[in-house]
Structure formats: structure tokens, C-alpha cells
Amino acid sequence: MTSKVPPPKVLFGFHAVTVRLKTSPASVIEVHVDATRRDARMRQFVDRVQAAGVKVVDSDDARLAQLAGSGRHQGVVARVSAVKTSHSLDDVLDTVEAEGRGPALVLVLDGVTDPHNLGACLRTADGAGAHAVIAPKDHAVGLNATVAKVASGAAETVPYLMVTNLARTLGELQDRGLRVVGTSDDAPETLYDLDLTGPVALVLGAEGTGLRQLTRKTCDELVQIPMQGAVESLNVSVASAVCLYEALRQRRAAAATAD
């Protein structure tokens, strides 16, 4: 029996396509560009595509929007082959340990279904040095073209693991020595009261609904992000940035002290 070859998918926007050209140029089938756009950024981009040996197709805005499924394509749409990813939770954590990449830092998203939020979370995770982002299969958005565009390339660099049973996966993280920390508006402690220098998984729920009950119960502890103004909560992508960069700040401070 022959295995099915995944159909080509679409990436759009300068950042998303540029990262794919950098990380896996052989997977890029062709790149459609706005034939009317000849500014320096587009010229440099086309030079990069041609240097990678990839076909460039001049297209009009209507064709680009049709391919991307969005009008926010920046004049750049690529047809790409699916890149085989063999990431598993154990693979990711084993690699972190083997390469000495510091204590594991994982972002867990419970109930985030908006592709713009997921893309922003992936971009933040990449910037803060998170080793993976985890989400449940039945309460999350997959990696589509909108996610890739918003992530600005981070969808290609940060492992995104969709798991069947989130509570069980949190237990596996705990078995691997990670402290599982959930966020909740009614938690007694704040994020800034916690030591985040060790291996940690930061668990955030969707704006408004927060963490599901079983997810809350599985966490080792809950913390809140202190809110001083009139709004009651932050968008999940903003909350992810606050949490991940606090972990990064603490880790850098600890490393500087150790030196």
C-alpha cells in the first residue's frame, strides 16, 4: 500500500514565506507575487526566491487573494509541500536536554480557537525561546495559512503539538519534571510571586472562558496576572507574552547571577 502524499498548502506574507525558504527551500513549489509591485522589499524578496531556485509567478491581486483566502497577503503567496514533522512531546523534551538548551519552557493553550490569537502566541513563543506550544485537538485551531501569516514564520520554527487528552499530557509533563502553572483571575498568587527558572509549562485558557475545570485541577498551581485598570482580563496572546517573557527575564537574571 502506498502512503498518501499530503496536498500542497498555502503560505502568504513576506515573513511566513521567507522563513519557509530559509528552513526548507525544497518544499516551496512556486511563489506568486504581485506583478504591479516593484519596490525594494519586493525586489529583494524575488531575488531570494530565485536564488533558492523556486519558480516566481506574476499574479494580480484577485488571483493572490483567491490563493491566500485573504486580502492581507502583502503581494506574496507561496504554494508549498507539507513538511514532515515528527515532533512528539518526548522528542522535544529529549532534544532540549540533549542540546543543553536550558530548563524546558512550554506554552499550553486550552481552548484557543482563533487563528489570529494562535499565530500571535506562536510568534511570542519563538521570541521568548519557548520549546513547544501544546493544545488539545478538540478545542484548538490547527496550523492554517492565517496562523502562519500572523506568526510571521514562527509556525515553521516552534513545534505545535495537538494532543488528544490535554490533562494526560500535563501529567506527562509533570512526570518529566516540569512544573505545570495555570493562569486564573481568582488565583491567590500573582505570576511575579513564582520562581520560573526551572522547567515549567505555562497553561493559559481562552479569553473569557479561561481554563477548563479538569485542566485547572491538573495544574500544580494557579497564578494570576495582576490587573490594575478597568478591564478584567487580557487577550490570550498578550497574556502569553507577559508569562513567557517573565520566565525569560527570571532565567536571564539567574544565569547572570550564576556567572
Tell me: do 247 and 221 sit in the same domain.
yes
Tell me: do 184 and 130 sit in the same domain.
yes
What percentage of the chain has pLDDT greater than the value 90?
A: 61
202, 244 Cβ separation under 8 angstroms: yes
Tell me: do 71 and 174 sit in the same domain.
no
Q: How many domains does the chain have?
A: 2
Tell me: do 41 and 94 sit in the same domain.
no
93, 161 Cβ separation under 8 angstroms: no
Is the pTM higher than 0.85? no
Tell me: do 223 and 160 sit in the same domain.
yes
Distance CA 35, CA 32 (A): 9
Distance CA 229, CA 227 (A): 6
Range of the domain at 118: 89-258
Distance CA 107, CA 196 (A): 13
Tell me: do 62 and 167 sit in the same domain.
no
Tell me: do 99 and 212 sit in the same domain.
yes
pLDDT digits (tens, 9 = 90+) for 33-73: 999 998 999 999 999 999 999 999 999 999 999 998 888 89
Q: What 3-state class would DSSP assign to 202?
A: strand
- Average pLDDT on 235-252 reads 96
Q: Quick one: pLDDT at residue 62?
A: 92
Q: Following DSSP, what letter does each residue of 24-87 receive, concatenated?
A: -GGGEEEEEEETT--SHHHHHHHHHHHHTT-EEEEE-HHHHHHHHTSS--TTEEEEEPPPP---
Q: Is the pLDDT of residue 170 over 90?
A: yes
Q: Using 50, 70 and 90 to split pLDDT, how confident is the model at 19?
A: confident
Q: Quick one: pLDDT at residue 5?
A: 40
For residue 57, what is the domain's CATH number?
3.30.1330.30
- Residue 3 domain-assigned (yes or no): no
pLDDT digits (tens, 9 = 90+) for 64-102: 999 988 888 999 999 988 765 556 888 889 888 878 888
Q: What 3-state class would DSSP assign to 218?
A: helix
